[in-house]
Amino acid sequence: MSLARTRTTMPEDARREGVLAALIAHFVAAAGRTETALVQWQRQVGSVVTARGWATLVGAALSFALGYTWGWVELIAIGWGLLIVAALATAWLIGRGASSVELSLPVSRVVVGVPATARLVAANPGRRRWGGVKLELPVGRRTMEWVLPALPRGGTFDRAFRVPTERRGIVHVGPTRTVRADPLGLMRREIVWSQVVELRVHPRTIAIAALSSGSIRDLEGSPTRDLTASDIAFHALREYLPGDDRRFIHWKSSAKTGTFMVRQFEETRRSRLMVVLDLDPSAYVDDAEFELAVSVAASVGARAIRDARTVSFVVPGRAGAGPAAMRELPTVTRDRLLDALCVIERDERTTMLADVARAAADGLPGVSLAFLVTGTGRGIPSLRVAASKLPMGVETIAVRCSPEGEATARTVAGLTVFGVGYLEDLRAMLARSASVA
């Protein structure tokens, strides 16, 4: 009999434990949801109530506590007064106002110094007039503010404003938000209406002549005067010599002359460029030198992309050896390259220029023409050391930028060194060197 009772009570105990476990799990889940709701409520309240508002609420609570404890009618009256003021300030925030605030930026890319304009349109489709709300819009490092006038039903508030483009970089515009606050400053409610839009301010570039210096043999290149037995640019026919590839025998000519004739080709070549922009702060005297260097490097890279040439745009990485010594910028399109150059800045922890050249020689095979763009703080010996790290046969041009300086061109131990004071100097020097070549 005792064994039967034991078998009967065991399933009942298991059911009770299951029910208890389910209740505990439900309680834990409810507690978690409650905690999440409280945290969200706390964040919302904290974003609405100002420091002055918290002081008012704390003052009301203390007045009630002391007044009802000690029976001071004056403190109780003060507490009710503060609570009524806080309630009126809360009621001031009721309503959303405008149902749409649109922020538009006609262009997403401009050249440094070129004016750019954005537009802000707020609409009120409500039945009653609405206005007196502050409209805030961050534009770069500053915040623009407007007080919306009283708008009738269907009325709009339309404003165009300029976006600063004095310096290369990315200017963040937005988000647009309306701010409703009571006259005493106890409560402040912000409503975000738009996303952040970006205006990319590109460095200034200049159109330069096609870069024809520095060539290597390539099937898609331009023909030269060097003759070869196999390529795609046909030159002439000659008599067959032992060792010639029989695939290039021209049978019609051979039948006419009675002698085997083979095709002869002109060797084709194509420039493969590498642009290295120095980011070492000690290489530049001031910001103007660095900005000119960015514009020079961007002009060379943009021209190479326009000519559909293979180009690698390299900037130093953080100090260290191996592939981390350099970083390649995207060169798929001109805009992609200039977008990347918007955020390039000097770095005190940058890799030395010679280490960058060594890493480029190891990681970028086939380079035939290299531009080293830097400032006047970089001496000629340092540039020669960097050029020596590149493979033999690579034509290297060092460009030292000095705003409003004299244009110079010289060759030091096989290294061509340009000194440019204006972007136009770069165009003239490259055109002169191309005509001499």
pLDDT value, residue 381: 92
Same domain, 284 and 431: yes
Q: What is the CATH number of the domain that holds 431?
A: 3.40.50.410
Beta-carbon contacts of 67 under 8 Å, excluding residues fewer than 6 positions away, are 73, 74, 75, 76, 77, 78, 79
pLDDT of 114: 93
Q: Is 209 part of any domain?
A: no
Closest C-alpha among 127, 130, 126, 172 to residue 147: 130
381 by DSSP, 3-state: which? helix
Per-10-residue mean pLDDT, the chain, length 437: 46 61 61 52 57 84 86 86 83 65 90 92 72 81 83 82 93 85 76 87 90 45 43 62 78 82 63 86 94 95 88 84 75 94 91 89 86 94 92 90 91 89 89 62
The total of structural domains in the chain comes to 4
Tokens encoding 279 = 């980011």
Nearest CA to 47 out of 233, 190, 186 is that of 190
DSSP 230: S
Q: What is the pLDDT of residue 31?
A: 57
**Residues 299 and 346 occupy one common structural domain:** yes
* Domain's final residue, options 211, 237, 269: 269
Secondary structure (3-state) at 16: helix
Whether pTM > 0.75 for this model: the answer is: no
Q: What is the pLDDT of residue 254?
A: 82
Residues 231 and 338 in one domain: no
Shared domain for 110 and 34, answered yes or no, is no
Which residues constitute the domain of residue 249?
A: 221-269
Residues 113 and 86 in one domain: no
Same-domain pairing of 31 and 144: no
Q: Considering 158, 174, 202, which residue would you say is the last residue of a domain?
A: 202
Any domain includes 157: yes
Question: What is the spatial distance between Cα 255 and Cα 156, in angstroms, rounded to a whole number?
Answer: 86
Flag whether 427 is in a domain.
yes
- Whether residues 194 and 279 share a domain: the answer is no
At residue 233, the pLDDT reads 47
Is 12 part of any domain?
no
* CA 172 to each of CA 111, 122, 134, 139, 287: distance values in angstroms, whole numbers, following the listed order: 16, 20, 20, 6, 22
Asked if the structure places residue 82 within a domain, the reply is yes
pLDDT given at position 123: 81
